[in-house]
A and B are shown apart, each in its own frame.
Chain A
Amino acid sequence: MNLPILSLITFTPLVGALAVAALPSRYPHLIRRTALAFSLLAWVMSLVLLAAYAFGPTGFQFVEAHNWIPTFGIRYKVGIDGLSILMVVLTTTLSWISILASFGPIKDRVKGYMISFLVLEVGMIGVFLALDLFLFYIYWEIVLVPMYLIIGIWGGSNRIYATMKFVLYTLVGSLLMLVAILATAFAYQVGHGGSWVGAFDFQLLQQFAASGQFGDAFQNLAFLALFLAFAIKVPMFPFHTWLPDAHTEAPTAGSVILAGVLLKLGAYGLIRFAVPLYPHAAHTFAGPIIVLSVIAIVYGAIVSIVQPDLKRLIAYSSVSHMGFVTLGIFVFSATALQGAILQMISHGLITGGLFLLVGVIYERTHDRTIAKMGGLAATMPVWATVFGFFILASAGLPGLSGFVGEFLVFVGSFGISPLIAVATIIVMVLAATYLLWMFQRVAFGTMSDFLKGLGGHLTDMTGTEAVTLLPLGFLIVVLGLFPSLVLDLLRAPAQAFLAAAGVAVGG
């Protein structure tokens, strides 16, 4: 079968964006449905891809390669392994959910919004598929623009500050990344007697790296540049302060995608590129990075406790949860890495769901201040129940997906050094503290005066809102009970990662 399915998936949303662009803006319903249709199509195709994917073997599948800028050996090369296919499915799933969730809240400039969202989806899928560093960079930057527009145009009151911070922060990172990519390609070209052929090809570069031909000093510099780009995106402590602002100002669906997929781009970059290309440097800096991750986990949780705003609280909790991902990557243990990737997915599902649920409340109250809420369990019982479910998932309740990911990271780190696990385990209590306290203030107690003032506007979740949350909740339970669905896919990538990092695979 020579169907270029990867390119089809990537560009389906682009076709959708063009289709939406061709529609007159006076039919917002038609525009919404067209956008949803194309994102659903991409989702179905990604599921087909998942079904067609061959478990087991290491390496990339469905690889497509075409010359693009032959002068510099730049090619359009895409392919998937167990890691990227999971990320693609996560992206397509969250994309249609986000688009559906925007039906109600977005009333102005629907056309522009939907186009932005579909283009965003193209960029995100592309990042996960690209096997050419230049192509990767292009997709990476494509992601930035629509997100900039989504927050900057459809965001909250302080949106300009938030977008500027988001864009500048990310740009600093991505420019460093560009430098690192160019330097790497140049080093490869020099190593091959001035021939640019394959200088941006990830697989060839990795073979080159595996043969130890990148010098140590070069590795350190290039790794740091790349790491900074990805660490900002994750975001790792202390580069995290753009996240609360961006989340607070973004529209609901923007927050969902931001938390669900954009943060994963950074972690994906670390796993796919930063470590395998510069293994020596990765080991050199692993210690400090682990320390930063541990700080992020505990620090994010502590700061979450005192947040007055629902979205800010969830944003800081993301810092804490994503700390597990970077920790899992840099302890170089197959168990922890699988846990980290599982954590990426479950964080996408759980935090995405939490933002959707906060969106439901915001839609009715136009406020997110925790202190103004109270007693919602009585007024909106269905909402409160679902919110409670996602809160518990976020707190790492066993049987739900968050627990498996975090526990695997814990076990993997414990095997490397019990100290890491001991320093981090306090988050079990801290996470429960900030989440339950928040839940208690929002849902329990008697109804606040602010909410009473809203009267009949405070209706329970609508059918559409429930539809957006149902698949997330379903996946959280399924992955919590049968994490093997994901772990089986990750066995080969984990081994490849550790082999590239030069660590013997245990057990």
Chain B
Amino acid sequence: MTFLIPLIPLLPLAGFAITGLLGREMGKQSHKVAVWAVVASWLVAMLVAFGALSHTLGFDAAGAGIKLWDWIPATGFHADMGFFVDPLTACLLIVVTTIGMLVHIYSIGYMAHDEGKWRFFAYLNLFMFSMLMLILADNFLLVFAGWELVGLCSYLLIGFWFPRRSAAEAAKKAFLVNRVGDMGFALGIMAIWTQLGTLNMQAVFAKFAGVPHEWQIAIALLILCGAIGKSAQFPLHVWLPDAMEGPTPVSALIHAATMVNAGVYLIARCNPIFGTVPEVMVIVAAIGIFTAIMAASIAFTQTDIKRVLAYSTLSQLGYMFASLGVGAWTAAIFHLMSHGFFKGLLFLGSGSVIHAVDGEQDMRKMGGLARKIPITYVTMLIGSVAIAGVPPLAGFFSKDEILGGAFKNGFLWVWAIGFVVAGMTAFYMFRLMGMTFWGQSRVDPEKEHPTHESPPTMTRPLILLAIPAIFLGLLIGFPPESGLLHQWLAPVFEATITASGRTEAAYSFFGIDGVLAIGTTALVAVAIVMAWRLFGVNMPALGLHAEPRPDRVRELSERQGLAELYRGSSHKWWFDDLNNLLFVVWGGKLAAAVFWFDRTVIDGTVNGIGTVTTGAGMRLRQVQTGRVQNYALGIALGLIAMAVGYILIAVR
């Protein structure tokens, strides 16, 4: 059934082409082709994923691929256009196509009144194509192609409302920061080719042990560079919060559930490469866990509902990186999948909230929305509980596996920070819930009246996403460390884990694992209660009620010692200002200086030669008086000189 694989990306591509070319004429129906293309792609992807995970339909444990054509057959370089599906790809396929499909459906309602709806769906389809190509590619160059194309789609979609200056700026920033990472990735691909003479991933992994160690480190670091850019890890994290300028479905699909996972996927995919360089793995873990705590600390103080979620995404991606870094590969993919679903849910929910209050994104102007938009409220509550890590929802299992992996693989510092971040996550999520749904309404009186629940095309995807947010963990992650997902992914990671010598002891709830899980859960509970007490709660069904206490919040934020932290957090630790100074101000000055050099020195030399020549000509033309007699005098003098010369020579 491998011949079905190309259909998965090609269907959205066809949808893009049709919608892009004819969408304008289709008017209100312009979403039809795009949505059906993605639904069809989802069906095929499910079939393929089923085959790859159950090792039927022509797939075996190592996966199966299909080569379409020789893409770049140069002398001394070769890259194919080919796809490859193994269990890891299959997991990603499930996440990408499912969330992609739901976001498409959701967008029908969300974008219904936008003039550029057809454009939006065309871009979304192009994104699906690119993302699917990225995960299906069988060689690094094709991954890179998908890598760049998703960056492009992200650019187009962030800048979708292009008349808004901030949107255009954010789009450019996202693309450029991504490109910084891509530089590293591109160099990594070149290094792989030079060292191994192939870019096919399976071939590279098979031969990688033979590469000199310094090159192994270089290649791993360069690939990491790309992954950091795409997954918005420190120090290239600055683009993701700004990317929230795009329409909310885009934030859900690209900047939460799929594209930003590409970096995690790439490192997981390259586990045979990273497995050979433990020193780089430590860097991965450090970057990940640092990003996790830094982003969580910023999420504490943001007031834009989407930005809170964006920093939360950064933080969760940091978890995944940390998980990869400590060698808990499966846990990273597990978290990737569960995070994809509940963060997609949260973003779509926030979109529904924004839709309800007529475009307002500031949580200080929300509050008390629970009664007005009940479906959105309930689904978002499920998402928040899931991400906070309350058992038995999806986030609990995946986060628990990450922390457990870090602890048991000897990365105590990663575990310690991750433990703290788990509490922080619960706190800021319930801060968000409190400010948005509970307490008194602070909505603008003019917008108060029309506040209404979103149409079914928007709420149904929320309900559909809430289901995996609740059950995914139980379904594929239970029992812990030997659930379905572990069985699926064992062929992908087994060799690397065995080689690293970190074969974990079996999970024992009545041993260290249980202690860790209970400890984390206790911290999460405390954090949630703290959030309730500060920002309010109102769940009559559970008999919970607390009014928000803004005065207490203000007092805390001004207290000695906390005030500095508060300031740093609300200024996002000044990363944007630093980048602005470094690249916009100084970079601009450098460019201006180089241009000055070009005009004055280089072009100046050229024009200088011209000026000297014309100047000399102007001087010399003074000799030409225009008077015949002067010329004749010259002739006569010349004759005399010749005669004298002749005589002198003749005499000698």
- A residues bordering B, Cβ < 8 Å? 165, 168-169, 238, 240-242, 299, 302-303, 305-307, 333-335, 338-339, 375, 377-378, 392, 397-399, 403-404, 407-408, 410-412, 414-415, 418, 421-422, 425-426, 428-429, 432-433, 436-437, 440, 443-446, 481-484, 487-488, 491, 494-495, 505-507
Q: In the docked arrangement, what's the CA distance between A494 and B179, Å?
A: 31
B1 at the interface (CB under 8 A from A): no
User: 20 A-B residue contacts at CB 8 Å?
Assistant: A240-B602, A242-B606, A302-B590, A302-B591, A303-B591, A303-B595, A398-B149, A407-B72, A408-B74, A412-B77, A414-B191, A415-B193, A421-B190, A426-B183, A429-B179, A436-B176, A445-B162, A487-B74, A488-B73, A491-B75
Given A299-B594, A414-B190, A440-B168, A306 and B588 contact (CB-CB distance below 8 Å): yes
Q: Give the secondary structure class of B's interface.
A: helix
B26 at the interface (CB under 8 A from A): no
Q: In the docked arrangement, what's the CA distance between A306 and B594, Å?
A: 9
Q: In the docked arrangement, what's the CA distance between A422 and B598, Å?
A: 24
B165 at the interface (CB under 8 A from A): yes
> Restricting to B582-626, which residues have a CB under 8 Å from any CB of A?
588, 590-592, 594-595, 598, 602-603, 606, 610
Instruction: Please give, as numbers and ranges, the residues of chain B lying within 8 Å of A335 by CB-CB distance.
Output: 74-77
Contact call B76/A506, Cβ cutoff below 8 A:
yes
Beyond the given A241-B598, A426-B183, please list 20 additional residue pairs across the A-B interface where CB-CB is below 8 A.
A168-B610, A242-B606, A302-B590, A306-B591, A306-B595, A335-B75, A335-B76, A398-B145, A398-B148, A399-B149, A404-B72, A411-B194, A414-B190, A414-B191, A425-B186, A433-B176, A482-B69, A491-B75, A507-B77, A507-B197
Taking the closest CB of chain A, its distance from the CB of B160, in whole angstroms, is 11
The chain B residue sitting closest to A483, CB to CB, is B72
Given A421-B187, A436-B175, A334 and B595 contact (CB-CB distance below 8 Å): no
Instruction: Please give, as numbers and ranges, the residues of chain A lying within 8 Å of B145 by CB-CB distance.
Output: 398-399, 403
The chain B residue sitting closest to A307, CB to CB, is B595
Chain B 187-215 per-residue mask, 1 if CB under 8 angstroms from chain A, else 0: 10011011001000000000000000000
Instruction: Please give, as numbers and ranges, the residues of chain B lying within 8 Å of A333 by CB-CB distance.
Output: 76
Given A241-B606, A408-B77, A484 and B187 contact (CB-CB distance below 8 Å): no
Instruction: Please give, as numbers and ranges, the residues of chain A lying within 8 Å of B71 by CB-CB distance.
Output: 481, 483-484
The chain B residue sitting closest to A486, CB to CB, is B74
The chain B residue sitting closest to A241, CB to CB, is B603
Q: In the docked arrangement, what's the CA distance between A110 and B606, Å?
A: 34
Q: In the docked arrangement, what's the CA distance between A411 and B78, Å?
A: 11
Instruction: Please give, as numbers and ranges, the residues of chain A lying within 8 Å of B175 by CB-CB distance.
Output: 432, 436
Contact call A306/B190, Cβ cutoff below 8 A:
no
The CB with the most chain B CB atoms within 10 A, among A169, A306, A505, is that of A306
Contact call A241/B602, Cβ cutoff below 8 A:
yes
B445 at the interface (CB under 8 A from A): no
Taking the closest CB of chain B, its distance from the CB of A183, in whole angstroms, is 24
Instruction: Please give, as numbers and ranges, the residues of chain A lying within 8 Å of B180 by CB-CB distance.
Output: 429
Given A303-B598, A397-B152, A421-B187, A445 and B76 contact (CB-CB distance below 8 Å): no
Q: 10 closest Cβ contacts across the A-B interface?
A: A398-B145, A335-B76, A334-B75, A507-B76, A444-B168, A414-B190, A444-B162, A241-B603, A305-B591, A335-B77
Instruction: Please give, as numbers and ranges, the residues of chain A lying within 8 Å of B73 by CB-CB distance.
Output: 484, 487-488
Instruction: Please give, as numbers and ranges, the residues of chain B lying within 8 Å of A443 by CB-CB distance.
Output: 162
B400 at the interface (CB under 8 A from A): no
- B residues bordering A, Cβ < 8 Å? 69-77, 81, 141, 144-145, 148-149, 152, 155, 159, 162-163, 165, 167-169, 171-172, 175-176, 179-180, 182-183, 186-187, 190-191, 193-194, 197, 588, 590-592, 594-595, 598, 602-603, 606, 610
Instruction: Please give, as numbers and ranges, the residues of chain A lying within 8 Å of B598 by CB-CB distance.
Output: 241, 299, 303
Taking the closest CB of chain B, its distance from the CB of A64, in whole angstroms, is 29
The chain B residue sitting closest to A337, CB to CB, is B75
Q: In the docked arrangement, what's the CA distance between A214 and B602, Å?
A: 34
Contact call B183/A429, Cβ cutoff below 8 A:
yes
Taking the closest CB of chain A, its distance from the CB of B435, in whole angstroms, is 33
Instruction: Please give, as numbers and ranges, the residues of chain B lying within 8 Å of A375 by CB-CB distance.
Output: 163
Contact call A507/B75, Cβ cutoff below 8 A:
yes
Instruction: Please give, as numbers and ranges, the residues of chain A lying within 8 Å of B169 by CB-CB distance.
Output: 440
Instruction: Please give, as numbers and ranges, the residues of chain A lying within 8 Å of B149 by CB-CB distance.
Output: 397-399
Instruction: Please give, as numbers and ranges, the residues of chain B lying within 8 Å of A168 by CB-CB distance.
Output: 610
The chain B residue sitting closest to A416, CB to CB, is B194
Instruction: Please give, as numbers and ranges, the residues of chain A lying within 8 Å of B606 by CB-CB distance.
Output: 165, 169, 241-242
Instruction: Please give, as numbers and ranges, the residues of chain B lying within 8 Å of A407 by CB-CB distance.
Output: 72, 141, 186
Partner of A484, one of B72, B171, B592: B72
The CB with the most chain B CB atoms within 10 A, among A338, A407, A408, A446, is that of A407
Instruction: Please give, as numbers and ranges, the residues of chain A lying within 8 Å of B163 by CB-CB distance.
Output: 375, 378, 444-446
Partner of A445, one of B148, B165, B176, B179: B165
Q: In the docked arrangement, what's the CA distance between A491 and B72, Å?
A: 12
The chain A residue sitting closest to B81, CB to CB, is A481
Instruction: Please give, as numbers and ranges, the residues of chain B lying within 8 Å of A398 by CB-CB distance.
Output: 141, 144-145, 148-149
Contact call A338/B74, Cβ cutoff below 8 A:
yes
The chain B residue sitting closest to A446, CB to CB, is B163
Contact call B183/A428, Cβ cutoff below 8 A:
yes
The chain A residue sitting closest to B115, CB to CB, is A378
Taking the closest CB of chain B, its distance from the CB of A307, in whole angstroms, is 8
The CB with the most chain B CB atoms within 10 A, among A399, A437, A491, is that of A399
Contact call B152/A392, Cβ cutoff below 8 A:
yes
The chain A residue sitting closest to B180, CB to CB, is A429
The chain A residue sitting closest to B594, CB to CB, is A302
Contact call A415/B186, Cβ cutoff below 8 A:
no
Contact call A411/B190, Cβ cutoff below 8 A:
yes
Q: In the docked arrangement, what's the CA distance between A428 and B225, Å?
A: 14
Instruction: Please give, as numbers and ranges, the residues of chain B lying within 8 Å of A444 by CB-CB distance.
Output: 159, 162-163, 165, 167-168
The chain B residue sitting closest to A436, CB to CB, is B172
Instruction: Please give, as numbers and ranges, the residues of chain A lying within 8 Å of B69 by CB-CB distance.
Output: 482
Q: In the docked arrangement, what's the CA distance between A169 and B606, Å?
A: 9
Instruction: Please give, as numbers and ranges, the residues of chain B lying within 8 Å of A505 by CB-CB distance.
Output: 75
Instruction: Please give, as numbers and ranges, the residues of chain B lying within 8 Å of A483 by CB-CB distance.
Output: 71-72, 74
Partner of A437, one of B141, B172, B182: B172
Taking the closest CB of chain B, its distance from the CB of A444, in whole angstroms, is 4
Instruction: Please give, as numbers and ranges, the residues of chain B lying within 8 Å of A422 by CB-CB distance.
Output: 187
Instruction: Please give, as numbers and ranges, the residues of chain B lying within 8 Å of A484 by CB-CB distance.
Output: 70-73
Q: In the docked arrangement, what's the CA distance between A302 and B598, Å?
A: 11
Q: In the docked arrangement, what's the CA distance between A165 and B602, Å?
A: 13
The CB with the most chain A CB atoms within 10 A, among B74, B155, B180, B190, is that of B74
Contact call A418/B191, Cβ cutoff below 8 A:
yes
Q: In the docked arrangement, what's the CA distance between A335 and B190, Å?
A: 12
Taking the closest CB of chain B, its distance from the CB of A233, in whole angstroms, is 15
Instruction: Please give, as numbers and ranges, the residues of chain B lying within 8 Å of A432 by CB-CB distance.
Output: 175-176, 179
The chain A residue sitting closest to B589, CB to CB, is A306
Taking the closest CB of chain A, its distance from the CB of B600, in whole angstroms, is 11
Taking the closest CB of chain A, its distance from the CB of B582, in whole angstroms, is 13
Q: In the docked arrangement, what's the CA distance between A186 and B329, Å?
A: 71
Taking the closest CB of chain B, its distance from the CB of A114, in whole angstroms, is 32
Instruction: Please give, as numbers and ranges, the residues of chain B lying within 8 Å of A412 by CB-CB distance.
Output: 76-77
Contact call B75/A415, Cβ cutoff below 8 A:
no
Taking the closest CB of chain B, its distance from the CB of A174, in whole angstroms, is 17
Taking the closest CB of chain B, its distance from the CB of A152, in whole angstroms, is 17
Q: In the docked arrangement, what's the CA distance between A494 and B159, Å?
A: 43
Q: In the docked arrangement, what's the CA distance between A484 and B72, Å?
A: 6
Taking the closest CB of chain B, its distance from the CB of A501, in whole angstroms, is 14
Contact call A494/B75, Cβ cutoff below 8 A:
yes
Instruction: Please give, as numbers and ranges, the residues of chain B lying within 8 Å of A433 by CB-CB distance.
Output: 176
Instruction: Please give, as numbers and ranges, the residues of chain B lying within 8 Å of A411 by CB-CB distance.
Output: 77, 190, 193-194
Instruction: Please give, as numbers and ranges, the residues of chain A lying within 8 Å of B190 by CB-CB distance.
Output: 410-411, 414, 418, 421
Instruction: Please give, as numbers and ranges, the residues of chain B lying within 8 Å of A169 by CB-CB distance.
Output: 606
Taking the closest CB of chain B, its distance from the CB of A58, in whole angstroms, is 13
Instruction: Please give, as numbers and ranges, the residues of chain B lying within 8 Å of A437 by CB-CB distance.
Output: 172
Instruction: Please give, as numbers and ranges, the residues of chain B lying within 8 Å of A418 by CB-CB distance.
Output: 187, 190-191, 194
Taking the closest CB of chain B, its distance from the CB of A34, in whole angstroms, is 34
Q: In the docked arrangement, what's the CA distance between A165 and B614, Å?
A: 13
Given A303-B591, A415-B194, A425 and B183 contact (CB-CB distance below 8 Å): yes
Instruction: Please give, as numbers and ranges, the residues of chain B lying within 8 Å of A339 by CB-CB distance.
Output: 74
